[in-house]
């Protein structure tokens, strides 16, 4: 249950872990270093490819290939060759960058934005991109963060970090349309919700920025079920591997209690 440090290179802001269960590989990003990482837990090999602008998240696209959302556009990265190729860009404002993202069951790319280089209130959006077309599905966000689909794809859970809440939207997987339903979780402690993942029981696991932990919640009643502490305050996101254990990304902070903030950790839940 004690977090194990898996990778540390002094990064300011690690984010966006995504586990490829078919090929047993972990991908994550160092946003402000413009880096996308591929980690092989069988060999402990870590590869990286650098883009030319901040990179917020990645999407699995094939064996050792991913699509990365950077401020200057979406790039396909092939970790077999360590090559990158521009794929497309959406018409986003110059004062924002992409942050968190997820794919839906139909292959749509869902991605949120936030102010960059300065965070500004309500200039973010959440976009849906599919087959060369894109549209805004959530408006007026500040720090678009955690995204997770319910197990039956009927709901999209979403975090706009400064609200300190998890919102639930009705989701139409046929059309990609969303309709706000309710807020299902509220954070009343010092931590603010950041990245998020859903487990096989439909429970939400939320990384707490400033809270130094990953917490588990029941979105049906808003109850907090458990938490797992990290040795650094700014916990940014998490994802599950093939053993239902957690990979957790973190960021640096000003705290004197910060140990390896900006590192990648592993927590054995089972």
Question: What is the DSSP track for 172-185?
Answer: -TTT--EEEEEEEE
So what's the pLDDT on residue 256?
A: 87
CA distance 250 to 248: 7
Who's near 120: CB < 8 A, 6+ residues apart? 95, 142
In a domain, 247, yes or no: no
In a domain, 195, yes or no: no
In a domain, 246, yes or no: no
The pLDDT of residue 270 is above 90: no
Q: Average of pLDDT values for 197-222?
A: 98
So what's the pLDDT on residue 175?
A: 94
In a domain, 58, yes or no: yes
Output the average pLDDT for the chain: 97
In a domain, 176, yes or no: yes
pLDDT tens for 124-181 read: 999 999 999 999 999 999 999 999 999 999 999 999 999 999 999 999 999 999 999 9
The pLDDT of residue 206 is above 90: yes
CATH of the domain at 71: 2.120.10.30
pTM check: above 0.85: yes
So what's the pLDDT on residue 257?
A: 81
- Domains held by the chain: number: 1
In a domain, 101, yes or no: yes
In a domain, 222, yes or no: no
pLDDT tens for 64-79 read: 999 999 999 999 999 9
CA distance 236 to 11: 13
In a domain, 270, yes or no: no
| Structural domain harbouring 37 | 4-189
pLDDT tens for 16-67 read: 999 999 999 999 999 999 999 999 999 999 999 999 999 999 999 999 999 9
């Amino acid at each position: 249950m004690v977090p194990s440090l898996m990778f540390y290179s002094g990064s300011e802001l690690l984010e966006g872990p995504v586990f490829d269960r078919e090929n047993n590989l972990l991908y994550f990003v160092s946003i402000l270093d413009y880096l996308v990482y591929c980690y092989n837990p069988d060999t402990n090999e870590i590869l990286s490819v650098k883009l030319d602008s901040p990179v917020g998240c990645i999407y699995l696209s094939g064996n050792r290939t991913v699509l990365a959302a950077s401020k200057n556009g979406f790039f396909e990265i092939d970790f077999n060759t360590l090559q990158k190729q521009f794929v497309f860009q959406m018409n986003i404002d110059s004062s924002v960058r992409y942050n968190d993202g997820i794919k839906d069951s139909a292959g749509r790319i869902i991605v949120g934005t936030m102010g960059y280089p300065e965070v500004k209130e309500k200039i973010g959006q959440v976009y849906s991109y599919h087959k060369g077309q894109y549209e805004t599905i959530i408006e007026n966000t500040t720090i678009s963060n955690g995204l997770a689909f319910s197990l039956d794809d009927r709901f999209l859970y979403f975090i706009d970090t400064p609200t300190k809440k998890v919102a639930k939207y009705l989701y139409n997987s046929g059309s990609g349309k969303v309709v706000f339903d309710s807020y299902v979780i509220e954070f009343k402690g010092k931590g603010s919700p950041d990245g998020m993942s859903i487990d096989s029981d439909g429970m939400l696991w939320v990384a707490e920025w400033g809270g130094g932990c990953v917490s588990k919640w029941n979105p049906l009643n808003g109850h907090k079920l458990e938490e797992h502490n990290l040795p650094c305050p700014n916990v940014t996101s998490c994802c599950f591997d093939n053993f239902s254990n957690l990979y957790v990304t973190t960021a640096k902070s000003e705290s004197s209690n910060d140990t390896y903030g900006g590192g990648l950790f592993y927590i054995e839940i089972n």
